[in-house]
Structure 1
Amino acid sequence: MNSKLQESKVKQLFTQQEVITNTDILYLYREEEPEIPEATVNWRIYHLVQKGVIQRIGRGKYREGKALTFFPELSAKTIKAGKFVGKEFPYINYCIWELSVINSFSQHLINYNVIFLEVEREVIDSVYRALKDMRYKVVRIKDIKEDLSDFAGYVCVRALVTEAPILKEKSGQVASLEKILVDLYCDKEFAPFQGNEIYHIYKNAFDDYTVNESTMLRYASRKEKKAEVEEVINSIKRQ
Structure 2
Amino acid sequence: MQTFLKFQELIAFLPQDEPFRRDLVGHFYEQKGEVLTEENLKVRVNRLKAKGVIVNIGRGWYRLNNKRIFKPEITATVKKVNSKIRKNFPYLNYQLWSTQWLNQLLTLQLLKSITIVEVESGSEEAVFRNLKESFPYQTFLSPSDEEWANYIADKEETILVRSMISESPKELHQGIRTPKLEKLLVDLYCDRLWQLLFSAEMENIFRESCEKFAINFSTLLSYSARRGKRTEIWQYIKELHVLDSATIDLIER
Is the structural similarity TM-score above 0.5?
A: yes
Q: 1:81 to 1:22 in 2, by over 3 A?
A: same
Q: Deviations over 1:33-71 (max 9, x none)?
A: xxxxxx7xx77x938757755422221333333663212
Change over 3 Å in CA distance of 1:160–1:196 after alignment to 2:
same
Equivalent residue letter for 1:97: W
| Whole-Å separation in 1 of the counterparts to 2:57 and 2:198 | 24
Alignment match, 1:87 = 87
Structure 1 unaligned spans of 5+ = 30-38
Partner SS for 1:121: coil
- Which residue is 1:201 aligned to? 205
TM-score, L = length of structure 1: 0.78
* SS of corresponding position for 2:102: helix
Paired position in structure 1 for 2:158: 154
Taking only aligned residues, the RMSD between alpha carbons, in angstroms, comes to: 3.4
Q: Partner residue of 1:77?
A: 77
Matches of 1:167 and 1:233, distance apart in 2: 23
Asked if 1 retains the 8 angstrom alpha-carbon contact of 2:22 and 2:61, the reply is no
> Do the aligned residues in 1 keep the contact of 2:116 with 2:160 (CA within 8 Å)?
yes
Separation (CA, whole Å) in 1 of partners of 2:89 and 2:169: 20
Structure 1 CA distance for aligned equivalents of residues 80 and 178 of structure 2: 13
Aligned in 2, Cα 1:20/1:91: closer, same or farther, shift over 3 Å? same
Distance 2:122 2:128 in 1: 12
Q: Which runs of 5+ in 2 are unaligned?
A: 1-5, 29-37, 245-253
Instruction: State the match for 1:33 in structure 2.
Output: none
Rounded Cα–Cα distance in structure 2 between residues aligned with 1:53 and 1:170: 20
Which residue of 2 is the match for residue 139 of structure 1? 140
Q: 2:237: which partner in 1?
A: 233
Secondary structure in 2 matching 1:114: strand
- Tell me the percent identity: 27
Deviates most, 83-92 or 194-203: 194-203
Deviation at 1:193, TM superposition (A): 5.1
* Cα distance change on mapping 1:131 and 1:56 into 2, 3 Å: same
TM-aligned CA deviation for residue 209 of structure 1:
1.6
Residue correspondences, number = 225
Structure 2 match to 1:63: 63
Aligned to 1:214: 218
Contact 1:120–1:160 (Cα < 8 Å) also in 2: yes
Report the alpha carbon displacement of residue 112 of structure 1 after superposing the two structures with TM: 0.9
Shift of 1:181: 1.0
Q: Would the aligned equivalents of 1:97 and 1:117 in 2 still touch at CA under 8 Å?
A: yes
Q: Is the 8 A contact 1:100 1:110 kept in 2?
A: yes
Taking the aligned partners of 1:6 and 1:99, their CA distance within structure 2 comes to 38
Contact kept? 1:54, 1:67, Cα under 8 Å = no
Check 1:179–1:6 CA distance in 2 against 1; reply closer, same or farther (3 A cut). Answer: closer
Q: Deviations over 1:54-111 (max 9, x none)?
A: 4222213333336632122122122111221122111210111101211110223222
Residue 236 of structure 2 aligns to a residue whose secondary structure is helix
Range that drifts further, 198-207 or 153-162? 198-207
Q: How does 1:1-239 map to 2 (within 5 A)?
A: 7-8=11-12, 10-11=14-15, 14=17, 19-22=18-21, 46=45, 54-65=54-65, 68-136=68-136, 137-145=138-146, 146-147=148-149, 149-192=153-196, 195=199, 197-236=201-240, 237=242
Distance 1:77 1:49 in 2: 30
Contact 2:22 2:62 in 1 (8 A): no
What residue identity is the alignment partner of 1:89?
F
Q: TM-score, with normalisation over the residues of structure 2?
A: 0.74
Shift of 1:228: 1.5
Alpha-carbon distance between aligned partners in 2 of 1:74 and 1:161, rounded to the nearest angstrom: 22
Separation in 2, partners of 1:118, 1:125: 12
CA distance 1:124–1:9, change in 2 (3 Å) = same
